[in-house]
């Protein structure tokens, strides 16, 4: 059993338990059985890696051994192992809330200037859009890269002597951000969107799921809060009518260190991310002024609102 993968751990647990289990239950039982000791690598948030790999496997692999039951809190089981009666279908009378289709007459890419505005003025970060079409598709994971990335530089806040001293000792206090954008967040796309963000933000100090429309259903907000707390992913809601009223709904948990392996993998696949890293490096070493024109353009408030007609 040496060199067990996260999916292998999940399969072992489900084979032995013979019932649908949530990601949290699978991880807890796996640890209680001592299976986590045989994992090839865990990282700081192994439960997040387990969740991301299970969801990606079910979504993208036709030959997957796993299946899910449930709408809001998905539970996993092994195909062919359980009968319909053992899958615990909803009790009679349990009706899922209807999906309300909104006329969102704009594209996801139209949200990028709004996030660039919010990141610049409220996170003090300079951003860059990552074009997925520029990625090398060979051996490429669908969820490896975010929609936008950003970096906070201390150049505009710190004394020059402090910045120079930080450079000398190799400890410049930058903060790297990863953003996944969606037009809206509802129960229909919450889990896929959330674990997509988990998957493509591992390299950064902070990862955010960003949307213009976020369901206000109490049950939805409770689940969104639970996922945010469990996996450290922040949630930002953009306000397209008043960009200054965009807000962090749930804060991200800051990681102390960057994941260099994940950064290297992303840089090897996407030239936009390569250019972003080069630009950040140049801005840090200049110690004088950030080349704003080399990052995403930030529109002023009035021009920004005009880009989307609501």
Higher pLDDT, 282 or 154: 282
**Do 169 and 286 sit in the same domain of this protein?**
yes
What is the pLDDT of the chain when averaged over all its residues? 80
Q: Are residues 146 and 242 in the same domain?
A: yes
Q: Say how many domains are in the chain.
A: 2
Question: Predicted confidence band at 218 (pLDDT cuts at 50, 70, 90)?
Answer: confident
State whether 134 and 244 are in the same domain: yes
Structure confidence at residue 8 (pLDDT): 92
Question: Residue 69's pLDDT band (boundaries 50, 70, 90)?
Answer: confident
Which of 239, 248, 167, 171 lies closest to 206 in space, CA to CA?
Answer: 248
Q: Is the pLDDT of residue 265 over 90?
A: no
Query: Do residues 207 and 119 share a domain?
Result: yes
Q: Are 62 and 152 found together in one domain?
A: no
Residue 310 has pLDDT above 60, yes or no: no
For residue 52 the two structure tokens come to 């991301």
pLDDT per residue as tens digits for the range 168-216: 555 556 889 999 999 999 988 998 899 889 988 989 999 999 999 998 8
Do 47 and 160 sit in the same domain of this protein?
no
Whether 40 is covered by a domain: the verdict is: yes
Q: What percent of the chain has pLDDT over 90?
A: 26
Pair (256, 118) in one structural domain: yes
Do 71 and 146 reside in the same domain of the chain? no
Within-domain flag for 1: no
Choosing from 87, 116, 136, the residue where a domain stops is 87
DSSP H or E stretch at residue 178: strand 175-185
If asked whether residues 114 and 82 sit together in one domain, one would say no
Quote the CA–CA distance of 124 and 273 in Å, as a whole number. Answer: 19
pLDDT category of residue 163 using cuts at 50, 70 and 90: low
User: Which H or E run includes 51?
Assistant: helix 46-60
Helix runs in 141-189, H state only: 160-168
93: left (phi over 0), alpha (psi -120 to 50) or beta: left
Question: Do the domain assignments include residue 266?
Answer: yes
What pTM was estimated for this model as a whole?
A: 0.65
96 within a domain of the structure (yes/no)? no
The reply to whether 143 and 269 lie within a common domain is yes
Shared-domain flag, residues 177 and 112: yes
What is residue 301's predicted lDDT score, i.e. its pLDDT? 85
Q: From the DSSP assignment, how many helices (H) and strands (E) are in the chain?
A: 10, 8
Residue 28 and residue 173 in one domain: no
| Domain span holding position 140 | 108-306
Two structure tokens written together for 175:
């903060």
Cβ–Cβ under 8 Å, residues 78 and 199: no
Domain assignment of residue 41, yes or no: yes
Mark which of 56, 87, 118 sits at the end of a domain: 87
Q: What is the mean pLDDT of residues 97-112?
A: 68
Domain presence at residue 103: no
For residue 83, the domain's CATH number is 1.10.10
Choose the final residue of a domain: 18, 53, 87.
87
Q: Classify residue 95: in a domain, yes or no.
A: no
Q: Does residue 60 lie in a domain region?
A: yes
Q: List the one residue out of 199, 147, 197, 207 whose CA is nearest residue 175.
A: 207
């Amino acid at each position: 059993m040496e060199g067990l993968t996260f999916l292998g751990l999940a399969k072992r647990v489900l084979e032995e338990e013979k019932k649908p289990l949530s990601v949290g239950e699978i991880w807890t039982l796996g640890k209680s059985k001592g299976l986590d000791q045989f994992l090839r690598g865990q990282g700081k948030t192994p439960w997040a890696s387990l969740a991301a790999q299970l969801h990606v496997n079910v979504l993208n692999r036709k030959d997957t051994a796993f299946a899910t039951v449930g709408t809001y809190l998905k539970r996993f089981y092994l195909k062919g192992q359980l009968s319909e009666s053992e899958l615990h279908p909803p009790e009679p009378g349990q009706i899922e809330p209807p999906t309300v289709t909104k006329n969102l007459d704009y594209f996801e890419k139209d949200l990028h200037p709004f996030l660039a505005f919010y990141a610049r003025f409220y996170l003090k970060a300079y951003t860059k859009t990552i074009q997925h079409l520029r990625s090398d598709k060979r051996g490429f994971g669908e969820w490896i890269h975010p929609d936008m990335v950003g970096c906070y530089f201390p150049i505009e806040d710190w004394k020059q002597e402090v910045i120079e001293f930080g450079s000398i000792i190799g400890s410049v206090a930058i903060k790297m951000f990863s953003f996944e954008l969606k037009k809206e967040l509802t129960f229909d796309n919450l889990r896929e969107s959330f674990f997509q963000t988990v998957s493509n933000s591992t390299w950064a100090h902070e990862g955010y799921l960003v949307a213009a429309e976020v369901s206000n259903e109490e049950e939805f907000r409770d689940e969104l809060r639970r996922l945010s707390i469990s996996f450290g992913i922040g949630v930002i809601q953009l306000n397209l009518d008043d960009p200054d009223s965009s807000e962090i709904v749930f804060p991200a948990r800051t990681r102390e260190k960057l994941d260099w392996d994940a950064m290297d993998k992303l840089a090897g696949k996407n030239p936009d991310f390569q250019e972003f890293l080069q630009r950040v490096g140049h801005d840090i070493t200049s110690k004088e002024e950030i080349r704003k024109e080399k990052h995403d353009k930030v529109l002023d408030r009035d021009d920004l609102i005009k880009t989307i007609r609501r």
